Amino acid sequence: MIKSKSTRIGDLIVVFICLILIFICLLPMVNVLARSLSDTKYLIRNEVLLWPKGLNFEAYKTVLKNERYIHSLWFTALLTVGCTILSLTMTILCAYPLTYDNLKGRKFLNGFIIFTMYFSAGMVPHYVLLKQLNMLENVWVLIIPNCLSVYNMIILRSSFYSVPESLREAAEIDGAGPIRTMIQVYLPLSKPVLATLALFYAVGRWNGFSDALLYIKKTRDLYPVQLYLYNILTNASSGEAAAQEGFSMPGLSETLKMASVMFATVPILLVYPWLQRYFVAGVTIGAVKG
């Protein structure tokens, strides 16, 4: 198909705009990488933008030698995997029954669940409840309170709605029960949305630190990497605070900050390419049928 001149010009404009947006998105990461590899004196003079000056790997060596930071990184990776699996399981178990029209109290359950999206008791009652349940200073306080997102459940429910009713009827005629129908019919047809929700849950848990900041004060082994990074960014300029976090080289404070940011950011970025092909379909599927 031969494109007209105006169409080709329009395509070039779109490509140019996309390249500008890509550059804008990459610019902060490139700047952080350059600053993490630069000598401190160039950072003090604010001479580093997109290319490192005075190539220096001391900050990365310091971070890699920091046992607390490495432990926090591995702990957060395991926590993210566990929370993602649990959250997907809870989301599936909540969304699937609501697709049955003959479910008793279905409308009430739908309304009750959606109600929680708009109204909550607030932070103080939430803290008091977790304290009464003896969940403070416990790994479960990072898992259970956020194991289900109502918004993600609605997306998955919409995906289940889009599965033809005839497929469920065919499975039931073959003798499949509700669980088998869900596993063999609904879940395989919902791979794009499941992959997208897995990405949402994983990114949310990896980047989350406010719950640990509120509910974990003494047990430093339960610090996720983002909370540890928060402490580094706020305290690295102080020699005493830096030593407390395991960094005894305050002269490298700025490069340490940037190197720590890179270590905390790159792992979750590596997840995107594996799920990219499912992402568009998974995000838009909820707009087809509600």
228 and 147 co-located in one domain: yes
Q: Are 282 and 192 in contact (CB under 8 A)?
A: yes
- Flag whether 205 is in a domain: yes
Cα–Cα distance between 261 and 225 in angstroms, integer?
A: 10
90 and 212 co-located in one domain: yes
62 and 28 co-located in one domain: no
pLDDT at 47: 79
80 and 21 co-located in one domain: no
- Give burial (CB, 10 Å; 0-12/13-18/19+) of 220: middle
36 and 62 co-located in one domain: no
- Flag whether 51 is in a domain: no
32 and 62 co-located in one domain: no
- Flag whether 233 is in a domain: yes
Give one DSSP letter per residue of 194-233, joined into a string: HHHHHHHHHHHHHH--HHHHHH-SS-GGG--HHHHHHHHH
pLDDT at 203: 87
pLDDT at 64: 80
Domain containing 211: what range?
58-287
pLDDT at 88: 94
- Flag whether 80 is in a domain: yes
The count of domains in the chain is 2
190 and 283 co-located in one domain: yes
Per-residue pLDDT of the chain (290 residues; tens, 9 = 90+): 556 777 788 888 989 998 999 888 888 888 888 888 887 777 777 778 788 888 878 778 877 887 888 888 889 999 999 999 999 999 999 999 988 888 888 889 888 888 888 887 788 888 898 899 988 888 999 999 888 889 999 989 988 888 888 888 888 888 888 889 999 889 988 888 898 898 889 888 988 888 888 898 888 888 888 888 787 777 655 554 555 555 554 445 677 778 878 877 888 777 777 766 666 555 555 444 44
234 and 105 co-located in one domain: yes
Q: Is the torsion defined by CA of 240, 241, 243, 248 positive or negative?
A: negative
- Flag whether 53 is in a domain: no
82 and 140 co-located in one domain: yes
CATH number of the domain within which 66 lies: 1.10.3720.10
36 and 174 co-located in one domain: no
- What is the CB neighbour count within 10 angstroms for residue 2? 5
- Flag whether 50 is in a domain: no
pLDDT at 272: 73
- Flag whether 255 is in a domain: yes
Which residue do the tokens 């109600």 mark?
Answer: 115
| DSSP designation for 101 | T
Q: Which pTM value belongs to this model?
A: 0.78
21 and 157 co-located in one domain: no
147 and 39 co-located in one domain: no
